[in-house]
Amino acid sequence: MGFAGVLLQNATFTCVEALRFGMGTAARHDPGSVAGLWSLSNVLFGFNPVYLAMALLGFSAAGAGAGLIPAWHAWLGYVSAALLFVSSLVSPYNAEGANRLGPVGLIGWLGWITWIATYSVTLLLL
């Protein structure tokens, strides 16, 4: 599940970047279409936390099951995944840039940063 989340994240980022290149071209040829492409890019990027949550859940479960990470580290992954998932549920409402649950996603993202840094050090020390 963790690897599937990483693959889906890569596919999402590929589409978002393609849309951004499309916006650059559209701005020169048809400026009216940029708003639609921008909204699509924002909504698609908003689903990225779902795939990050999948990666967190899968790699936390695998690490805890294999005895690589302590229980607190696995729980950090689970809680961060839940926060990221909740923040992604409201991503369609963020297309216009107003999201009251933004801090939930930020806390989940900060948890992910802590989780991945700790996991990286753990794997390097093996």
60-115 pLDDT, tens digit each: 999 999 999 999 999 999 999 999 998 888 766 665 666 677 788 889 999 999 99
Name the residue among 111, 107, 121, 105 with its Cα closest to residue 72: 111
Q: Which of 120, 81, 108 is nearest to 1 (CA)?
A: 81
Gap between the Cα atoms of 28 and 5, Å rounded: 35
- Per-residue pLDDT of 43-65, as tens digits, reads 788 788 899 999 999 999 999 99
Confidence of residue 11 (pLDDT cuts 50, 70, 90): very high
Q: Are 2 and 57 in contact (CB under 8 A)?
A: yes
Find, among 6, 123, 114, 110, the residue nearest to 57 by Cα.
6
**SS3 assignment, position 84:** helix
- The domain total for the chain is 1
Task: Give the pTM.
Answer: 0.82
What pLDDT does residue 110 have?
96
Q: Which domain holds residue 91?
A: 2-124
Tokens of 55: 């990666």
pLDDT of 67: 94
